[in-house]
Amino acid sequence: MHNKKLFWAVIALFPLAAFSLFIGVANISLESFLAGDEHTLSILFGSRLPRLLAICLAGAGLSVAGLIMQQVCQNRFAAPSTTGTIDCAMLGYVLGIVFFAGANRWISLGVILTFALVGTLVFVQFLQRLQFKNAVLVPLIGIMYGNVISAMTTFIAYRYDLVQTMSAWTVANFASVLQGNYEFLYLALPACLVAYYFASQFSAASVGESFAKNIGLDYQKIVFIGVLIVAILASTVVMIVGVIPFLGLIVPNLVAIFMGDNMRRNLPWTAYWGVVMVLACDILGRLIIFPYEMPISMIISIFGGAIFIALVLKDKSNA
């Protein structure tokens, strides 16, 4: 019975994916696709399929990033959006535009990745020195830390007349994804595989530095690897799509509620349900005010905010 439920859960992704391919202002149909219509094929392979792949990669990547952050920070409310990772990536994005305008996109990604990595390491090192690690206190400190970084980013954006560009990127939207401009998101695949390989070590690190050292692990090395993976996943999403809030926080927690705390077992399911959530929210955003689109970040903020509040209340009631 359990395997049957898992089977139907996996199968549920395919109708959503197929539905996503045929939703949009440009009207295409399965009949025209099967008939080999040139206009249909151009839209499908130039826009709709890249958008679907970007949704899958971004959803899986950010969800796995959230799972890793929760292990590294030893806090179930840690995520790229509550530990300053996304804000640091945005700072790197703006500085990349200022100082490396017109440069190779790999250089831009490198700048974003560097700021996300360094900024997250600073926060994690601060947490390691914090004696009082209340479950709700950690994300609150992370949000305040992110707000300070965000204020710096806004100041630089005002200074160099980039406020409109920055504002557009703080609201994630897959509408601009086309063939040729989303491929950096494929970095999520090797990053998730490396995360799965180190899953047991991350779980050991989540117990504490003393425990990790007692079983022969280099605690700081494992933390650095985890933060590096998180930075890669967050940076690629910020660079290609924009900021998707709450995803890395709520998906790992919901998976843990139903499947327990075994990271190696949960990681594939965290990636899968991250894809399902982003895909469902993207479809909803395209249908609510059709033929216009509502940015996916607004949809996820509504659902994610409600789930986050529920998780906090649940944590308080169990305390």
CA-to-CA distance for 244 and 240, rounded, in angstroms?
Answer: 11
Amino acid at 296: I
CA-to-CA distance for 204 and 210, rounded, in angstroms?
Answer: 10
Please report, for residues 52, 140, 164, 198, 234, the alpha-carbon distance to residue 169 in angstroms, rounded to integers and kept in the order given: 19, 23, 9, 32, 13
CA-to-CA distance for 66 and 192, rounded, in angstroms?
Answer: 12
Q: Is this model's pTM higher than 0.75 or not?
A: yes
3-state secondary structure 93-129: HHHHHHHCCCCCHHHHHHHHHHHHHHHHHHHHHHHHH
Would you say 51 and 16 are in contact if contact means Cβ atoms under 8 Å apart? Answer: no
CA-to-CA distance for 242 and 254, rounded, in angstroms?
Answer: 24
Phi-psi region of 242 (alpha: psi -120 to 50; beta: other; left: phi over 0): left
Please report, for residues 94, 120, 242, the alpha-carbon distance to residue 145 in angstroms, rounded to integers and kept in the order given: 18, 10, 20
Which 8-state DSSP code applies to residue 124?
A: H
Would you say 271 and 64 are in contact if contact means Cβ atoms under 8 Å apart? Answer: yes
CA-to-CA distance for 173 and 278, rounded, in angstroms?
Answer: 11
User: Any idea how long the chain is?
Assistant: 319
pLDDT by residue for the chain (319 residues), tens digit each?
455 556 666 677 888 888 888 887 777 777 777 777 788 888 888 888 898 999 999 999 999 999 999 888 888 888 888 888 888 988 998 888 888 877 788 888 888 899 999 999 998 888 877 766 666 778 888 888 989 998 999 899 888 888 877 777 777 778 787 887 788 889 999 999 999 999 888 888 888 778 878 888 888 888 899 999 999 998 888 888 888 888 888 899 888 888 878 888 889 999 999 999 999 888 888 888 877 788 888 888 888 888 878 877 776 555 5
Would you say 235 and 111 are in contact if contact means Cβ atoms under 8 Å apart? Answer: no
Give the three-class secondary structure for 91: helix
User: How many CA atoms lie less than 13 Å away from 4 in the CB half-sphere?
Assistant: 1
